[in-house]
Amino acid sequence: MPMLNFQNPVRFDFGAVKKLPDALKREGIERPFLVTDRGLRDSGLLDRITDVLDDTSAATIYDGTPGNPTEEAVTEALESYQGNDCDGVVCIGGGSPMDLGKAVALLAVSGGPLAQYDPLQGGNKLVKGIAPLIAIPTTAGTGSEASVGFVISMSDGRKLTYANPLFLPKLAICDPELTLGLPPMLTAATGMDAITHCIEAVLASPVNPPADGIGLDGLWRGWQHIQRAVEDGSDRTARWEMMMASTEGALAFVKGLGAVHSMSHAAGRLKDLRLHHGTLNAVILPTILRFNEDACSDKYLRLRQAMGLPADADLAKEIERLNANIGLPSGLGEMGLSEDLIEDMVPHAVNDLATMTNPKQVSAEDYAELYRIAM
């Protein structure tokens, strides 16, 4: 079975979940804290994981993860972790349970409050370590299983990105079997999250050719297979390739991300609208591709090549066409956003970690205009 080891060990293939019991033993985890959400529990996916465990009675299950992980949910989960004397975290799900689990693992060892670890405020110096952590994605996806970061909606309204190599899971178990039942809308949204990661990572300003290579390979796979995965979720090849594109997106975004993510994070804070991170990325991506182009047109050649497009193809139009083909909205307005919300979102986008690595400087005025265009 393929074992990839670039940022962290990644067991990748159909049936990989069977590696969980050995992994728990190897990490010395006897009382695992399983972090998931109610949807995964109800769908029966959680059973697929607990079924492989030698002793389910030793595991504590937290299924209260909201759509976007919040500081309140982290606190609630941590209390359960500590109350049950757990000694390791297993995250099962999409980005939310995985990011929430990372936060719990951090606080369990390094102590709260969470906000002190903000990397933009020198918070990484304070990280002592995290509890042993194993990540099992069920979407394709955020790539959080192979990334140094996690994003939490804080109680004060900010959506903060935490990033530190110590946050890497000890093991990622990538089993595409777990995504066979992912419905078309989620397949499309999480698939576009993966594709956006690959694109924004390649365009990001830091110099890191191996990361570019990985991102372009992920883009090549994702672009080829996303529509198939949406139209026929039982296609095992499409599911394998989309999960690989997702993991590769995270390996690539060690470089950082860009304005798409800054804008998505800022919009994702608006709890009532329950906007999906992947869908936001898909909808905003064309606007940012147009905005960034004059700063990195040489990289656009490589993107087109990875996507199998002619050298003069209009990347933004191609993303718009794909979004339409896979049933995603064509604008933020369609998702429930409106221009009156722009004033609230802009400062959060400006301050987002991802803005620092956008290939082009983005001012508050730029973000306001970009939101208007993306409506």
Residue burial 229-254, b: 16+ Cβ < 10 Å; e: rest? bbeebebeebbbbbbbbbbbbbbbbb
Q: Which residues contact 44 (CB under 8 A, 6 or more apart)?
A: none
Query: Which C-beta is closer to a second copy: that of 21 or that of 206?
Result: 206
Q: How far is the CB of 94 from a second copy (least distance, A)?
A: 21
Q: Which residues contact 26 (CB under 8 A, 6 or more apart)?
A: none
Q: Which residues contact 57 (CB under 8 A, 6 or more apart)?
A: none
Query: Which C-beta is closer to a second copy: that of 118 or that of 248?
Result: 248
Query: Which C-beta is closer to a second copy: that of 256 or that of 286?
Result: 256
**Closest to 350 in 3D by CA, of 366, 332, 339:** 366
Query: Which C-beta is closer to a second copy: that of 247 or that of 287?
Result: 247
Query: Which C-beta is closer to a second copy: that of 21 or that of 165?
Result: 165
Q: How many Cβ atoms from other residues are within 10 Å of residue 354's Cβ? A: 24
**Closest to 137 in 3D by CA, of 185, 95, 106:** 95
Q: How far is the CB of 175 from a second copy (least distance, A)?
A: 15
Query: Which C-beta is closer to a second copy: that of 124 or that of 305?
Result: 305
Q: How far is the CB of 206 from a second copy (least distance, A)?
A: 7
Q: How far is the CB of 313 from a second copy (least distance, A)?
A: 15
CA 1 to chain centre: 24
Q: How far is the CB of 208 from a second copy (least distance, A)?
A: 6
Q: How far is the CB of 163 from a second copy (least distance, A)?
A: 13
The tokens for 65 are 């993860």
Residues in the site for a second copy, rule: CB under 8 A? 2, 4-7, 165, 206-218, 221, 244, 247-248, 251, 254, 305
